[in-house]
Protein backbone atom coordinates (compact mmCIF):
# COMPACT_ATOMS: atom_id res chain seq x y z
CA UNK A 1 0.00 0.00 0.00
CA UNK A 2 1.12 3.54 -0.71
CA UNK A 3 2.93 4.88 2.42
CA UNK A 4 1.07 8.19 2.16
CA UNK A 5 -2.26 6.33 2.07
CA UNK A 6 -1.23 4.34 5.13
CA UNK A 7 -0.32 7.55 6.98
CA UNK A 8 -3.62 9.22 6.07
CA UNK A 9 -5.45 6.09 7.26
CA UNK A 10 -3.67 6.33 10.62
CA UNK A 11 -4.52 10.03 10.83
CA UNK A 12 -8.19 9.25 10.11
CA UNK A 13 -8.26 6.69 12.94
CA UNK A 14 -6.59 9.22 15.23
CA UNK A 15 -9.07 11.92 14.27
CA UNK A 16 -11.94 9.52 14.97
CA UNK A 17 -10.43 8.96 18.41
CA UNK A 18 -10.11 12.72 18.89
CA UNK A 19 -13.76 13.31 18.03
CA UNK A 20 -15.06 10.38 20.07
CA UNK A 21 -13.08 11.15 23.21
CA UNK A 22 -14.40 14.55 24.02
CA UNK A 23 -17.04 16.21 26.03
CA UNK A 24 -17.65 19.91 26.67
CA UNK A 25 -17.66 19.39 30.42
CA UNK A 26 -15.16 17.16 32.11
CA UNK A 27 -17.04 14.75 34.37
CA UNK A 28 -15.08 14.91 37.59
CA UNK A 29 -15.94 12.40 40.30
CA UNK A 30 -15.07 13.03 43.92
CA UNK A 31 -14.24 9.39 44.50
CA UNK A 32 -11.94 8.89 41.52
CA UNK A 33 -10.70 12.16 40.08
CA UNK A 34 -7.89 11.53 37.62
CA UNK A 35 -6.01 13.99 35.45
CA UNK A 36 -5.27 11.10 33.14
CA UNK A 37 -9.02 10.85 32.55
CA UNK A 38 -9.06 14.59 31.97
CA UNK A 39 -6.62 14.16 29.08
CA UNK A 40 -8.92 11.52 27.58
CA UNK A 41 -11.65 14.14 27.52
CA UNK A 42 -9.69 16.94 25.89
CA UNK A 43 -11.06 16.46 22.39
CA UNK A 44 -14.22 18.43 21.67
CA UNK A 45 -17.58 16.73 21.25
CA UNK A 46 -19.40 17.14 17.90
CA UNK A 47 -20.53 20.71 17.34
CA UNK A 48 -24.20 19.88 17.05
CA UNK A 49 -24.17 18.67 20.65
CA UNK A 50 -21.86 21.35 22.00
CA UNK A 51 -22.87 24.52 23.80
CA UNK A 52 -21.43 27.76 22.46
CA UNK A 53 -17.70 28.07 23.16
CA UNK A 54 -16.80 30.38 26.04
CA UNK A 55 -15.93 34.01 25.41
CA UNK A 56 -12.50 34.41 23.90
CA UNK A 57 -10.59 37.56 23.02
CA UNK A 58 -8.28 38.27 20.13
CA UNK A 59 -5.58 40.88 20.07
CA UNK A 60 -7.12 42.48 16.97
CA UNK A 61 -10.73 42.59 18.21
CA UNK A 62 -12.31 45.91 17.28
CA UNK A 63 -14.57 47.95 19.55
CA UNK A 64 -17.76 49.05 17.81
CA UNK A 65 -18.83 52.70 18.14
CA UNK A 66 -20.98 53.31 21.17
CA UNK A 67 -19.80 50.18 22.96
CA UNK A 68 -17.57 49.87 26.00
CA UNK A 69 -14.01 48.72 25.37
CA UNK A 70 -12.79 45.39 26.64
CA UNK A 71 -11.41 45.38 30.21
CA UNK A 72 -7.68 45.20 30.70
CA UNK A 73 -6.25 41.76 29.92
CA UNK A 74 -5.90 39.24 32.70
CA UNK A 75 -2.38 38.55 33.90
CA UNK A 76 -0.75 35.69 31.97
CA UNK A 77 -1.30 32.19 33.30
CA UNK A 78 1.57 30.59 35.16
CA UNK A 79 3.87 28.77 32.75
CA UNK A 80 4.06 25.03 33.53
CA UNK A 81 7.49 23.54 34.23
CA UNK A 82 9.35 22.22 31.20
CA UNK A 83 9.10 18.43 30.77
CA UNK A 84 12.10 16.17 31.07
CA UNK A 85 13.68 16.11 27.57
CA UNK A 86 14.15 12.36 27.84
CA UNK A 87 10.37 11.95 28.17
CA UNK A 88 9.44 13.95 25.05
CA UNK A 89 8.28 11.74 22.17
CA UNK A 90 6.98 14.50 19.87
CA UNK A 91 7.30 18.25 19.61
CA UNK A 92 4.56 20.26 17.86
CA UNK A 93 5.75 23.85 17.70
CA UNK A 94 6.36 24.72 21.34
CA UNK A 95 4.03 21.98 22.64
CA UNK A 96 5.79 18.92 24.02
CA UNK A 97 4.12 15.51 24.04
CA UNK A 98 5.59 13.13 26.60
CA UNK A 99 5.46 9.39 27.18
CA UNK A 100 3.20 10.12 30.14
CA UNK A 101 0.73 12.00 27.90
CA UNK A 102 0.58 9.04 25.52
CA UNK A 103 0.07 6.58 28.36
CA UNK A 104 -2.89 8.54 29.71
CA UNK A 105 -5.06 7.84 26.64
CA UNK A 106 -5.96 4.34 27.71
CA UNK A 107 -9.18 4.25 25.70
CA UNK A 108 -7.31 4.29 22.37
CA UNK A 109 -6.05 1.04 20.98
CA UNK A 110 -2.30 1.59 20.51
CA UNK A 111 0.49 4.06 21.15
CA UNK A 112 0.65 5.31 17.54
CA UNK A 113 -3.07 6.17 17.53
CA UNK A 114 -2.66 7.87 20.90
CA UNK A 115 0.32 9.87 19.66
CA UNK A 116 -1.49 10.95 16.47
CA UNK A 117 -4.48 12.04 18.56
CA UNK A 118 -2.27 14.16 20.81
CA UNK A 119 -0.56 15.72 17.79
CA UNK A 120 -4.00 16.59 16.35
CA UNK A 121 -4.96 18.25 19.63
CA UNK A 122 -1.67 20.17 19.71
CA UNK A 123 -2.29 21.47 16.17
CA UNK A 124 -5.67 22.84 17.25
CA UNK A 125 -4.12 24.54 20.28
CA UNK A 126 -1.36 26.06 18.14
CA UNK A 127 -3.91 27.42 15.69
CA UNK A 128 -5.92 28.89 18.56
CA UNK A 129 -2.86 30.83 19.72
CA UNK A 130 -1.68 31.66 16.19
CA UNK A 131 -4.94 33.55 15.66
CA UNK A 132 -4.23 35.66 18.72
CA UNK A 133 -7.07 34.16 20.76
CA UNK A 134 -6.82 34.22 24.55
CA UNK A 135 -8.90 32.73 27.31
CA UNK A 136 -9.55 35.11 30.19
CA UNK A 137 -8.45 33.59 33.49
CA UNK A 138 -11.99 34.06 34.75
CA UNK A 139 -13.17 31.37 32.30
CA UNK A 140 -10.82 28.85 33.95
CA UNK A 141 -11.83 30.16 37.40
CA UNK A 142 -15.48 29.52 36.55
CA UNK A 143 -14.74 26.02 35.24
CA UNK A 144 -12.78 25.04 38.35
CA UNK A 145 -15.41 26.70 40.55
CA UNK A 146 -18.07 24.57 38.88
CA UNK A 147 -16.08 21.42 39.60
CA UNK A 148 -15.63 22.42 43.24
CA UNK A 149 -19.33 23.25 43.64
CA UNK A 150 -20.77 20.26 41.79
CA UNK A 151 -18.35 17.50 42.70
CA UNK A 152 -16.87 18.53 46.03
CA UNK A 153 -19.77 20.30 47.72
CA UNK A 154 -18.02 23.65 47.50
CA UNK A 155 -14.96 22.39 49.38
CA UNK A 156 -11.88 23.36 47.36
CA UNK A 157 -9.61 21.82 49.98
CA UNK A 158 -11.22 18.44 49.24
CA UNK A 159 -10.46 18.85 45.53
CA UNK A 160 -6.86 19.79 46.23
CA UNK A 161 -6.48 16.82 48.59
CA UNK A 162 -7.80 14.45 45.90
CA UNK A 163 -5.41 15.90 43.36
CA UNK A 164 -2.45 15.73 45.74
CA UNK A 165 -3.17 12.06 46.45
CA UNK A 166 -2.55 11.38 42.77
CA UNK A 167 0.54 13.57 42.52
CA UNK A 168 -1.18 16.52 40.85
CA UNK A 169 -1.99 20.09 41.78
CA UNK A 170 -4.72 22.65 41.24
CA UNK A 171 -2.54 24.24 38.55
CA UNK A 172 -2.38 20.89 36.76
CA UNK A 173 -6.16 20.79 36.71
CA UNK A 174 -6.38 24.37 35.44
CA UNK A 175 -3.96 23.50 32.62
CA UNK A 176 -6.08 20.50 31.61
CA UNK A 177 -9.24 22.60 31.56
CA UNK A 178 -7.58 25.37 29.56
CA UNK A 179 -6.42 22.92 26.91
CA UNK A 180 -9.87 21.37 26.58
CA UNK A 181 -11.52 24.75 26.07
CA UNK A 182 -8.92 25.83 23.51
CA UNK A 183 -9.41 22.64 21.50
CA UNK A 184 -13.20 22.85 21.64
CA UNK A 185 -13.31 26.54 20.71
CA UNK A 186 -10.89 26.08 17.79
CA UNK A 187 -12.77 23.09 16.42
CA UNK A 188 -16.05 24.99 16.57
CA UNK A 189 -14.44 27.92 14.74
CA UNK A 190 -13.07 25.67 11.97
CA UNK A 191 -16.50 24.12 11.42
CA UNK A 192 -18.12 27.56 11.29
CA UNK A 193 -15.57 28.78 8.76
CA UNK A 194 -16.21 25.71 6.60
CA UNK A 195 -19.95 26.34 6.79
CA UNK A 196 -20.70 22.95 8.33
CA UNK A 197 -21.32 23.87 11.98
CA UNK A 198 -24.90 22.58 11.72
CA UNK A 199 -24.26 19.80 9.23
CA UNK A 200 -24.35 16.05 9.99
CA UNK A 201 -21.48 14.65 12.02
CA UNK A 202 -19.90 12.62 9.17
CA UNK A 203 -19.50 15.82 7.15
CA UNK A 204 -17.96 17.62 10.14
CA UNK A 205 -15.62 14.68 10.75
CA UNK A 206 -14.39 14.85 7.16
CA UNK A 207 -13.76 18.61 7.40
CA UNK A 208 -11.72 18.08 10.56
CA UNK A 209 -9.82 15.15 9.05
CA UNK A 210 -8.80 17.25 6.06
CA UNK A 211 -7.83 20.17 8.31
CA UNK A 212 -5.60 17.93 10.44
CA UNK A 213 -3.93 16.31 7.40
CA UNK A 214 -3.19 19.72 5.85
CA UNK A 215 -1.89 21.36 9.02
CA UNK A 216 0.16 18.38 10.09
CA UNK A 217 1.94 18.49 6.74
CA UNK A 218 2.69 22.20 7.28
CA UNK A 219 3.43 22.21 11.01
CA UNK A 220 6.86 21.84 12.62
CA UNK A 221 6.31 18.34 14.06
CA UNK A 222 9.46 16.57 15.23
CA UNK A 223 10.12 13.33 17.07
CA UNK A 224 13.09 13.82 19.43
CA UNK A 225 12.98 10.24 20.75
CA UNK A 226 13.57 8.87 17.25
CA UNK A 227 16.61 11.11 16.86
CA UNK A 228 18.33 9.87 19.99
Give the per-residue pLDDT at 31.
37
Rounded CA-CA distance 40/203 in Å is 23
Three-class SS state of 170:
helix
For the segment 138-161, the average pLDDT, to the nearest whole number, is 95
E strand or H helix at 137, and its extent? Answer: helix 137-151
Q: What is the pLDDT of residues 22-49, one digit of tens each?
A: 433 333 333 334 343 333 333 333 333 3
User: What does the domain layout of the chain look like in residue ranges?
Assistant: 3-20+85-227
Give the per-residue pLDDT at 98.
87
Per-residue pLDDT for 175 more than 70?
yes
- The topology under which CATH files domain 3-20+85-227 is Triger factor/SurA peptide-binding fold (1.10.4030)
Give the per-residue pLDDT at 227.
59
Rounded CA-CA distance 132/117 in Å is 24
Lowest mean pLDDT among 27-36, 118-127, 136-145: 27-36
Amino acid sequence: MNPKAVRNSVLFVAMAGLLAMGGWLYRHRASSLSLGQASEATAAMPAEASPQPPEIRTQSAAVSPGTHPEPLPDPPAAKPPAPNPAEIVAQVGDISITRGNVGQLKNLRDDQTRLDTLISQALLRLEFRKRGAALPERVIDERVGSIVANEFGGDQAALEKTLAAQGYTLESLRKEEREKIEISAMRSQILREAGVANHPKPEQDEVMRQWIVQHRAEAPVTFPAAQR
